């Protein structure tokens, strides 16, 4: 899948999980850029992304991403 | 519903819902459990006011009597001690002590229970332990007392024994839930490692569903009756077309599914659920299998009301409901036909109508999964309930043939035993307090423990009434709790009555009895209050009808000029030959 397509789908997951229609993520977006994105909602994002793409992240990966771009890198390795 | 949907409920309007204060204490991270619980509460009409303890603070909160837990005064304390933390604990035990893990845990739990009981006197919901097999012994763990699996299962078993003896301690059986969905769904290692959350996000909705079912029945929201369709529900085939020999029940093929279903219904009957029938059939034909088929598990005397005719089911169900005098929300209608199900659903909003699977082989597993018949009590009353309702049907038959109402009541030869709360009647009093909705003036629910405390409170006067007649004994059917609010006045804190005994003059007998007591103990005024609920409209004019005068908020009766009310119930003295309502304290 193309990266921009991935980004679009991940964006939709962010909107649904964080329940905020206005969220517009880019590859550079970090947790600090989105008020609702904290350690608890991070877990919900992880589970929602896993479900959407039918993949599983390992426990190290969950903690490792510095921004959305790295998250997408990780999805692409699956 | 999934977790995301539950979470969206948090933004909805809770202002009209019933508030309930809950404390949630866990030894794992419980924030998501908290959100899910609040969200599922909304679905069932609760505004759960959840106070959540900080992570792993269970013992500090409970054993420090000045803690926030006690300042919060919850009505329910939910305790979630996870199997993972238990395993951590076990791992640190010296080998020779491992076999004591269960005993140590249970004494800690007993301590927790006793402390909460003393400080709050509230209900406790305790999650049992989901199984973790650490595979140190393999199958052989079942033979090794010191193995983790052995100890964990021992705790779960002993917890049930503990709950039996501690009426305000309830187990939420998440172990059974894990057995159903599997451990891989229940638990996600990568999330646990990063967050200390032991319940996976996918399992949270099921865990809170199981929890709210328990909470619902603690507050009287329970199912009391099943209405059964017959053809292709109770047996396979259509009795009117196929005939007695060709319907499917018994040990062969799909017949097995219907037989198993009937055994399940029979078990529900034995535990106090009222079984009724509503079928589009000619009555004599519909009854034939019950009377003649050797493989029928259900018999006619298991059925309280049998409606087989060609009228529409909505009307039949309304007739059944009004003859039993219970709310539609306590009725489950089971029918294989989607058309009938939809008509009933559309016309009777509160009734529960399971969306039965097409394949009868799936009936039972599907019904198990709904867990419709949660309860918070089980007594002899439940076992006898079908008989009681059948006798009531006989009385109704007499009522229609009697010359007049007076004649009918006189002929019943009614007696009532009046007692204050004692250890024999407390469980039944508590049960009625949870169950009774319609004839209930203030709908204050009391648990066994609270009833016991009321019995020992010198400023509270308690009364229970039984009613028996020539057809049988209805058992304990009415409860009065009076509180002294001044030297002259007793306040009717509680007056509820089983709807089984409506229109028998019981209200008059009860009022005569308590007025007599009030006078003998030197009080002058009885005060009553009606608090409306969605269900107790029936007693809106109760105090007016009984001759109380309307005050600002309360109803008052000056007992000095009270005229005894006419009725046909005789006072029965108890086996000790004394009137136990006389109390000097």
DSSP B238-279: -HHHH-GGGSB-SSSTTHHHHHHHHHHHHHHHHTT-EEEEEE
Average pLDDT, chain B: 92
Q: Does B202 touch chain A (CB under 8 A)?
A: yes
Of chain B, the percentage scoring pLDDT greater than 90 comes to: 79
Burial letters for B495-511: b for 16+ Cβ neighbours within 10 Å, e otherwise? bbbbbbbeebbbbbbbb
Closest CA to B379 of B330, B425, B446: B425
Inter-chain residue contact A43 with B3, CB threshold 8 Å: no
Cα–Cα distance between B21 and B123 in angstroms, integer?
11
CB B402 within 8 Å of CB B408: yes
- Number of C-beta neighbours around residue B281 at 10 A: 21
What integer pLDDT is reported at residue B573 of this predicted model?
Answer: 67
| Backbone φ/ψ region at B142: left (φ over 0), alpha (ψ -120 to 50), beta | alpha
Mean local confidence (pLDDT), B528-541: 92
Task: Look at residue B403 and tell me whether its pLDDT is greater than 90.
Answer: no
Across the interface, do B201 and A39 touch by the CB < 8 Å criterion? Answer: no
Nearest CA to A17 among A39, A35, A32, A37? A37
pLDDT in tens, B310-360: 999 999 999 999 888 899 999 999 999 999 999 999 999 999 999 999 999
User: Strands B460-469 and B18-26, how do they pair?
Assistant: unpaired
- Whether residue B576 has pLDDT greater than 50: no
Domain span holding position A16: 3-76
- The arrangement of strands across the sheet holding B76-80 comes to B46-52, B18-26, B76-80, B123-127, B169-172
Which chain B residues contact residue A56 at CB under 8 A? 190
For chains A and B, what is the number of CB pairs under 8 angstroms?
Answer: 37
pTM, two decimals, is: 0.77
Q: How many domains are contained in chain A?
A: 1
* Rounded average pLDDT over A39-67: 92
Residue bearing the bigger pLDDT, B430 or B398: B430
A46 contacts on B by Cβ (under 8 Å):
191
Would you call B91 exposed, middle or buried from its count of C-beta atoms within 10 A (0-12, 13-18, 19+)?
exposed
pLDDT for the residue numbered B580: 45
- Where are the alpha helices (H) located in B44-123, listed in sequence order? 58-63, 68-72, 83-92, 101-119
Residue B393 pLDDT > 70: yes
Cα-to-chain-centroid distance, residue B573: 31
B191 touches chain A (CB under 8 A): yes
At B3 the pLDDT is: 94
Q: Is 60 exceeded by the pLDDT of residue B574?
A: no
Read off the CATH number of the domain in which A11 is found. 1.10.1200.10
Binned at pLDDT 50, 70 and 90, residue B408 comes out as confident
SS3 content of chain B, % helix, strand, coil (to 5): 45, 20, 35
pLDDT interval class at B578 (50, 70, 90)? very low
Tokens representing residue B7 in the block = 């979470």
All structural domains of chain B = 3-218 (3.40.50.1110), 225-370 (3.40.50.1000), 402-572 (3.40.630.30)
pLDDT band at residue B250, thresholds of 50, 70 and 90? very high
- Look at B8 and A63 and tell me if their CB atoms are within 8 Å: no
The answer to whether the CB atoms of A19 and B190 lie below 8 A apart is: no
Q: A5 CB near a chain B CB, below 8 Å?
A: no
Q: What is the pLDDT of residue B582?
A: 43
Nearest by CB: B194 against A16, A19, A59? A59
Pair of tokens at residue B72: 């919060």
pLDDT exceeds 70 at position B585: no
Query: What's the ipTM?
Result: 0.86
Residue B392 has a pLDDT of 79
């Amino acid at each position: 899948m193309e990266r921009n397509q991935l980004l679009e789908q991940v964006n939709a997951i962010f909107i649904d999980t964080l329940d905020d229609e206005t969220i517009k993520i880019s590859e550079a977006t970090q947790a600090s850029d989105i008020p609702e994105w904290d350690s608890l909602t991070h877990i919900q994002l992880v589970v929602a992304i896993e479900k959407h793409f039918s993949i599983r992240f390992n426990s190290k990966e969950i903690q490792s991403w510095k921004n959305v771009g790295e998250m997408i890198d990780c999805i692409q390795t699956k | 519903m999934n977790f995301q949907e539950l979470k969206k409920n948090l933004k909805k309007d809770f202002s009209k819902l019933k508030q309930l204060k809950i404390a949630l204490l866990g030894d794992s991270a419980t924030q998501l459990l908290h959100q899910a619980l609040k969200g599922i509460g909304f679905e069932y009409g609760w505004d759960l006011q959840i106070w959540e303890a900080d992570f792993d603070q269970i013992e500090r909160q409970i054993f420090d009597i000045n803690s926030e837990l006690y300042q919060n005064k919850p009505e329910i304390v939910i305790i979630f001690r996870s199997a993972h933390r238990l395993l951590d604990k076990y791992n640190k035990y010296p080998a020779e002590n491992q076999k004591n893990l269960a005993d140590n845990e249970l004494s800690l739990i007993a301590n927790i229970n006793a402390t909460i009981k003393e400080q709050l006197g509230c209900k406790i919901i305790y999650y049992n332990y989901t199984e973790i097999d650490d595979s140190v012994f393999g199958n052989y763990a079942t033979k090794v007392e010191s193995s983790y699996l052995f100890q964990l299962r021992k705790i779960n078993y002993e917890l049930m024994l503990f709950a039996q003896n501690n009426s305000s301690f309830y187990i939420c059986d998440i172990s059974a839930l894990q057995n159903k969905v599997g451990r891989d769904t229940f638990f996600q290692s990568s999330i646990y490692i990063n967050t200390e959350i032991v319940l996976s996000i996918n399992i949270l909705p099921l865990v809170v569903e199981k929890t709210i079912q328990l909470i619902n029945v603690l507050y009287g929201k329970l199912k009391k009756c099943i209405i059964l369709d017959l053809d292709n529900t109770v047996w396979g085939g259509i009795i009117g077309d196929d005939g007695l020999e060709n319907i499917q029940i018994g040990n062969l093929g799909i017949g097995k599914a219907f037989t198993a279903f009937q055994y399940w219904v029979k078990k529900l009957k034995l535990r106090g659920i009222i079984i009724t029938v509503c079928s589009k059939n000619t009555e004599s034909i519909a009854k034939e299998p019950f009377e003649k088929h050797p493989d029928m598990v259900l018999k006619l005397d298991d059925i309280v009301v049998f409606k087989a005719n060609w009228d529409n089911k909505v009307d039949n169900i309304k007739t059944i409901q009004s003859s039993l005098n219970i709310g539609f929300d306590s009725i489950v209608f089971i029918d294989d036909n989607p058309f009938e199900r939809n008509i009933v659903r559309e016309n009777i909003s509160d009734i529960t109508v399971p969306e039965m699977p097409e394949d009868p082989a799936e009936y039972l597993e599907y019904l198990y999964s709904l867990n419709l018949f949660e309860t918070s009590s089980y007594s002899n009353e439940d076992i006898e309930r079908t008989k009681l309702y059948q006798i009531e049907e006989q009385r109704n038959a007499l009522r229609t043939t009697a010359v007049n109402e007076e004649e009918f009541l006189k002929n019943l030869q009614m007696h009532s035993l009046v007692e204050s709360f004692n250890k024999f009647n407390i469980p039944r009093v508590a049960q009625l307090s949870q169950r009774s909705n319609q004839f209930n003036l203030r709908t204050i629910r009391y648990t066994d423990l609270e009833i016991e405390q009321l019995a020992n409170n010198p400023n509270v006067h308690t009364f229970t009434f039984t009613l028996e007649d020539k057809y049988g004994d209805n058992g304990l059917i009415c409860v009065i709790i009076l509180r002294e609010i001044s030297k002259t006045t007793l306040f009717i804190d509680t007056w509820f009555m089983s709807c089984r005994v409506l229109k028998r003059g019981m209200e008059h007998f009860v009022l005569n009895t308590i007025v007599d007591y009030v006078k003998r103990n030197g009080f002058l005024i009885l005060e009553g209050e009606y608090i409306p609920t969605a269900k107790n409209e029936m007693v809106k004019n109760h105090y007016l009808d009984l001759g109380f005068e309307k005050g600002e908020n309360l109803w008052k009766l000056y007992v000095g000029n009270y005229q005894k009310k006419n009725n046909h119930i005789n006072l029965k003295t108890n086996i000790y030959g004394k009137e136990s309502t006389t109390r000097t304290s």
